[in-house]
Structure 1
Amino acid sequence: MPDVSLSFAGATLRPHPSGALHWPEHDALLVADLHLEKASFFATHGRMLPPYDSHDTLAALIDAVEATGARRVFALGDSFHDGAGVARLPANARTALAALTRDLDWCWITGNHDGSAAAAIGGRVAGELELGGVWLRHEAEPHDAAPEISGHFHPKVSVTVRGRRIVRRCFALTPSKLVLPAFGALTGGLDIGDAAMARVLGRPLTALVATPERLLRFPVAG
């Protein structure tokens, strides 16, 4: 089996091509920024998008859980696109999500888009928590030197290969911070070199792109 692991804060972590992060020591899968029901949110504001984002996101999440064998899931905030998203969740997606929260040890970390409403489906809610000496939260704390894993920024990286520009979502890594890419099917991204990200994460900063065969590393200049 190819080694796609990385060492962070003394832990061995395995970034998954889906954008999830597997922490084998704790039998845990971490995901960030699902933004469930984003399409229906835009529909209420007159922008019609295909209403399948929650289904596609949950299907990818189920695949990641099955691929890793994780028994615990930590959703690092913005799991729904807005506080009313839980109520708009289609019946089939609600059933799938309820099954996940029933069968797994599930924790919702609150984000800036969502609140605690997701707990109505199942699982528990926390503002942030510590796992294995690492803080799990939605948004990175720039003045906290303790190791942390977060989401919020939707990092992506662009590289030029043989004259072709390729953009991929990525993990953003510094010695004390690891930011997960947005997991949701209908989410954009912020370039990892953006000044807003640099102010919070600092340097040195590395973009990590997970493939089934290996973990690609791209140092970020500046």
Structure 2
Amino acid sequence: MTLDISIYEEIFTLHPSGALFWRGPKILLISDVHLGKVSHFRKSGAAIPRGAIHKNFELLNKVIDHFDPLEVYFMGDLFHSYLNGEWQLFEAWIGEQKHHTTLVAGNHDIISPLKFESLGVKVYPVIRKHPFFFTHHPSEEEGYFNFSGHLHPAVRLRGVGRQSLRLPCFFKNEKQMILPAFGEFTGSHVLSPGKKDQVYAIAGNEVIDVSPSFSK
């Protein structure tokens, strides 16, 4: 189940995959896919099933079919490291897409931009569409609201006794929203919300506003 929120009078839809859809211009935001990470760890001897390589592409297809965007912004760390066999899968996948694709380069994006541009994928360090700007690392800029990734945000919800639950989340404050990691096997980093922060946790197939848990 998705969740709609308003930012600067624009409607954004939060999807349980971790993707964010800007309804007006039909732009889909996806952060930290880390393609190639599964192959990287398998090569190092990690016992990760080979089928896991295809999970990211299956999830990408699912969310793109759901929203039918005109554009997709990958908000950094599209690939985990250097070229490996998953690049060929990406080439095949991007060749089937009808939307425009842009990569906002992240710290893991060390593959040459020329490789992406040869596939029709534009690469930029930052994109500005007033009143919003899009980066990989969380940033602040006067007069703009920032969308970013990088941190793989999660939140810890506490129950009775010592029970607790750790969930990936969309993390928002007055000036920015940090998207959760989209990719499989990416890990997460627990953030500590303040009373004015808004936290939208991903619990299975739902996105839930858990902000009231931290506003007391």
- Structure 1 and Structure 2 fold alike (TM over 0.5): yes
1:216 aligns with one of 190, 209, 216 = 209
Q: Is the 8 A contact 1:108 1:119 kept in 2?
A: no
1:215, CA displacement in angstroms? 3.6
* Structure 1: runs of 5+ lacking an equivalent: none
Distance 1:131-1:91 versus aligned 2 partners, 3 A rule: same
Structure 2 residue 22 is the aligned partner of structure 1 residue 23 = yes
Q: For residue 121 of structure 1, what is the aligned residue in structure 2?
A: 119
| Counterparts of 1:132 and 1:51, CA distance in 2 | 42
| Counterparts of 2:109 and 2:8, CA distance in 1 | 28
SS at match of 2:24: helix
Structure 2 residue 34 is the aligned partner of structure 1 residue 41 = no
Q: Is the 8 A contact 1:5 1:13 kept in 2?
A: yes
Number of residue pairs the alignment of both structures matches:
209
| Counterparts of 2:199 and 2:172, CA distance in 1 | 6
What value does the CA root-mean-square deviation take over the aligned residues?
2.6
Distance 1:3-1:171 versus aligned 2 partners, 3 A rule: closer
Q: For residue 198 of structure 2, what is the aligned residue in structure 1?
A: 206
Amino acid at match of 1:94: E
Q: Is the 8 A contact 2:2 2:15 kept in 1?
A: no
Structure 2 residue 107 is the aligned partner of structure 1 residue 112 = yes
1:65, CA displacement in angstroms? 1.0
1:70, CA displacement in angstroms? 1.4
Q: Is the 8 A contact 1:147 1:177 kept in 2?
A: yes
| TM-score after normalising by structure 2 | 0.84
Report % sequence identity. 24
1:58, CA displacement in angstroms? 1.5
Q: For residue 188 of structure 1, what is the aligned residue in structure 2?
A: 187
Q: For residue 136 of structure 2, what is the aligned residue in structure 1?
A: 138
